[in-house]
Structure 1
Amino acid sequence: MELIFRSEVFNSMKFMRNCKSCRFSVVKIMAAGKQYYATSSLVLGYALCSSLLAVINKIAITKFNYPGLLTALQYLTSATGVWILGQLGFLYHDPFTLETAKKFLPAAIVFYLAIFTNTNLLRHANVDTFIVFRSLTPLLVAIADTTFRKQPCPSKFTFLSLVILLGGAVGYVMADSAFTLTAYSWALAYLITITSEMVYIKHMVTNLGLNTWGFVFYNNLLSLMMAPLFWVLTGEYADVFVVVRSNYGDWFDFGAFVAVSLSCVFGFLISFFGFATRKAISATAFTVTGVVNKFLTAAINVIIWDKHSTPLGLACLLFTLVGGVFYQQSVAAEAKPSANNDPGGGDSGDVEKILGSSRKGLVL
């Protein structure tokens, strides 16, 4: 009788251990699922904001032809929005300190230059030109990551996908676009600054230790402080004063107000999604996401503007999309070994593992 009782107790304990193991497995599966959906939401939010912001900024700069003032209003909206929501308890951002600001200042300068050249590129060129130079960045970022950040060299498949993406984007512009000297100069400046920004900001996000809203707050506040300097250097302040004086009492334009307001709202949203996504994935994967989502920009461009590419150019856009899909597949294939070899704790490969865990992938 005692042996039977001990046997039942042993079986009960074994059953409880198995139940705990099952519960632990379920918790792990649920956590992985939450991580996947959270990451997917971040990437999707960044893609939508980035795609729509390019079109909205093009409309805004057309109706409100002051790029320095436009970007300053965007910085003001984002910095003020983060501060107000923080005061109301809806979010937490790291407090502003002079020591942290000094460390963050170089990144803020690079960020400001990237946005400034981007806005002036949209001012002097069409969306097609913006797309092709934006599409050049993943290849350069991959080279910069390998050279300066000591990241592993891209595999042949990954490199081929980047070349396909680049070739499609170049073919798209060559089919139906022409460069002016001014537009080309701004495009070249944008290419240099955006490549530097993609690599350097990734380094800052990884090592500075601020939370997402802290990065948004510092980035926009410091950029806002730099805005008056560029107003003076470019002479834009004089143009604004001339317009205000010449149209005194009748300077308000409702269409321009709506366009600028939308650009400020989307600028605030992309600040969050941009930093949150950048913190999760590698610089090259982040850049390719930004390039591929320009297909939505191109589609809107075809609908609202009469300046768009020929059917051959649109075919080249599809070619670029194929390059983006190939990149996603190459990331999925490399995610496992790269995670094992990542000396930094794997933060740059986590999202790539998650996005690559499904054969369907997440193509934006």
Structure 2
Amino acid sequence: MSSSSYATSSLVVGYALCSSLLAVINKFAITYFNYPGLLTALQYLTSTVGVYLLGKLGFLHHDAFTWDTAKKFLPAAVVFYLAIFTNTNLLRHANVDTFIVFRSLTPLLVAIADTVFRSQPRPSKLTFLSLLVILAGAVGYVANDSAFTLTAYSWALAYLVTITTEMVYIKHMVSSLELNTWGFVLYNNLLSLMIAPIFWFLTGEYTDVFTAVNANGGSLFEPVAFFAVALSCVFGFLISFFGFAARKAISATAFTVTGVVNKFLTVVINVLIWDKHASPVGLVCLLVTICGGIGYQQSVTVAKKPTSGPAQVLNDSEKVDEESVELIPGKVATNLSMVRVQQLNQLARKPHATNSKKITLVLVVPPKLRLKTCVT
């Protein structure tokens, strides 16, 4: 296995573990701390402070916060917040199995959105068959859900729409904005933290929090609730990193399928620790849905035509090959640097004498990018 494949696999495994455990931990936290808006805000706060402090200590690098970039990222942050908002409310009114089923439906919608809006390759026949298996399992689960309520499934449909939009739109933002992974984590969580108070007032949750504080003598956390909230904050921080890193490494549809497959672990834990779970028939339909996710394979991407000469060096630099360039993760050349590269390309195409010596031109592209182009 090549180093790039190993790195990609590590990111996907890290995201899968965090995602599967976070669903159970959040259900545990909401059970003992029934304030989903405040819970997610504490997760955003933990991730924001964590990135900032680790950056100050030199353990990681993140892009500086600017309002211009924040304005560009704000729509993605709003969609992300809505996805988490509908997710937590779904967990309040339904069991984890219902959440998993609707989460499993997202590859079908994301595959359609990828093909229509992002010009991705059409799914293969095997891929399409797997999507139909996912849909069949979901329909079977809903038909056999004895705990069906209009409130729960209203939140489920809202979650399905927002999470599908988030999967595709965040992938677009990752591809278009010149931010590294930790920069995305910082912007996403900080902006979501700023949005949180708006929904506290819209949902009236702030009144419940104040009432609970007054009733408990100024204390909001019991020992079990404190442990559950702290654990959810830690995993929320970890999934922020693995989530954005995995989005950069794989396609939006493959990223979504990864989140579906890891629900096997969530199902096992949910059956073991909770008495509120689906019936045996519902669990079978749930497993069928997850098996459809396993059968789903990533669409084959269209290979780019190789180029030669100095232009190929530029393409290699875009891949951030550590053996040829020194580059802060996530950064690309500025417009001025691109002009200099074009000038070098024109120079390379000029005829030279047969006895000319090999000339090495060194182009320094800020920040910290060294690009070497050899002209003979």
The two structures share one fold, judged by TM-score above 0.5:
yes
Residues 2-38 of structure 1: CA deviation (Å, up to 9, x unaligned) = xxxxxxxxxxxxxxxxxxxxxxxxxxxxxx6111111
Task: Give me the whole-angstrom Cα distance separating, in 1, the residues matched to 2:81 and 2:305.
Answer: 34
Q: Which moved more, 1:277-286 or 1:242-251?
A: 242-251
What's the secondary structure of 1:275's corresponding residue?
Answer: helix
Ranges in structure 2 where 5+ consecutive residues have no aligned partner: 307-314, 317-376
* 1:176, distance to aligned residue in structure 2 (A): 4.4
Judging changes above 3 Å, is the alpha-carbon distance between structure 1 residues 84 and 326 closer, same or farther for their aligned structure 2 residues?
A: same
Residues 208-241 of structure 1: CA deviation (Å, up to 9, x unaligned) = 1210000000000000011111111111111111
Counterpart for residue 205 of structure 2: 236
Contact 1:165 1:319 in 2 (8 A): yes
Counterpart for residue 322 of structure 2: none
Contact 1:161 1:327 in 2 (8 A): yes
Residues 107-136 of structure 1: CA deviation (Å, up to 9, x unaligned) = 000001001110111111111110111011
For the pair 1:144 / 2:113, whether they are aligned, the reply is yes
Judging changes above 3 Å, is the alpha-carbon distance between structure 1 residues 167 and 218 closer, same or farther for their aligned structure 2 residues?
A: same
Contact 1:76 1:221 in 2 (8 A): yes
Identity %: 76
Counterpart for residue 99 of structure 1: 68
* 1:98, distance to aligned residue in structure 2 (A): 0.8
Counterpart for residue 338 of structure 1: 302
2:135 pairs with 166, 173, 192, which one?
Answer: 166
Query: Residue type matched to 2:41 in 1?
Result: A
* 1:175, distance to aligned residue in structure 2 (A): 3.6
Query: Residue type matched to 1:211 in 2?
Result: N
Task: Give me the whole-angstrom Cα distance separating, in 2, the residues matched to 1:170 and 1:131.
Answer: 13
Counterpart for residue 352 of structure 1: none
More helix by share: 1
* 1:300, distance to aligned residue in structure 2 (A): 0.4
Q: How many residues matched?
A: 308
For the pair 1:309 / 2:278, whether they are aligned, the reply is yes
Counterpart for residue 36 of structure 2: 67
Task: Give me the whole-angstrom Cα distance separating, in 1, the residues matched to 2:58 and 2:208.
Answer: 40
* 1:340, distance to aligned residue in structure 2 (A): 4.5
TM-score by length of 2: 0.78
Structure 1 residues 204-353: aligned runs within 5 Å: 204-249=173-218, 251-328=220-297, 331=298, 335=300, 338-340=302-304
Contact 2:82 2:162 in 1 (8 A): yes
Judging changes above 3 Å, is the alpha-carbon distance between structure 1 residues 117 and 211 closer, same or farther for their aligned structure 2 residues?
A: same
RMSD: 1.9
Query: Residue type matched to 1:84 in 2?
Result: L
Q: Which runs of 4+ in 1 moved over 4 A?
A: none
Q: Which moved more, 1:179-188 or 1:203-212?
A: 179-188
Judging changes above 3 Å, is the alpha-carbon distance between structure 1 residues 314 and 187 closer, same or farther for their aligned structure 2 residues?
A: closer
Contact 1:49 1:270 in 2 (8 A): yes
What's the secondary structure of 2:137's corresponding residue?
Answer: helix
Residues 162-208 of structure 1: CA deviation (Å, up to 9, x unaligned) = 11123224434544443212111111111111010000000000111
Q: Which moved more, 1:33-42 or 1:195-204?
A: 33-42
Counterpart for residue 108 of structure 1: 77
1:192 pairs with 161, 167, 175, which one?
Answer: 161
Query: Residue type matched to 1:40 in 2?
Result: S
Contact 2:73 2:173 in 1 (8 A): yes
TM-score by length of 1: 0.80
Query: Residue type matched to 1:291 in 2?
Result: V
Judging changes above 3 Å, is the alpha-carbon distance between structure 1 residues 208 and 222 closer, same or farther for their aligned structure 2 residues?
A: same
Task: Give me the whole-angstrom Cα distance separating, in 1, the residues matched to 2:218 and 2:38.
Answer: 20
Residues 40-71 of structure 1: CA deviation (Å, up to 9, x unaligned) = 11000000000000000011111111111001
What's the secondary structure of 1:92's corresponding residue?
Answer: coil
